[in-house]
Amino acid sequence: MRMRESDWKVFKRIRALALERFSQRILDECREICMKQTSSAHERYLELFRLIHERDKLIAAAFDRFSRSSAYMSLRLIRSMNLLTDAEVAELSAEAQEVTDPEG
């Protein structure tokens, strides 16, 4: 199902916000790992490597396909990761909100 034009315009803007938020979340997680004093440098490196690998898969799933035909799927993933505010979601049509509701 293709996203309607009005929702596509909103999606393009909030997608960029979500990507920035997710990137910051990942950097914060990396910082926490790097600051651990109870782990050896090698243990922190391995944990960091695993985290980046896992998060890269999530970024790819939610953000790599950027087309109107895949927008609903991307938006559903973005919403499931709690990367948008309620106000941002409210900018979308009722249809887009319903189709991308991660609990629905």
At 14-37, the pLDDT tens digits run 999 999 999 999 999 999 999 999
Among candidate residues 28, 22, 29, the one with its CA nearest the CA of residue 74: 22
pLDDT at 14 (0 to 100): 98
pTM: 0.91
Computed over its alpha carbons, how large is the radius of gyration of the chain?
A: 16
Cα distance between residue 98 and residue 104, in whole Å: 7
Give CA–CA dist 29/17, Å, rounded.
Answer: 18
Domain ranges of the chain: 5-99
Measured CA to CA, the distance from residue 50 to residue 60 in angstroms comes to: 16
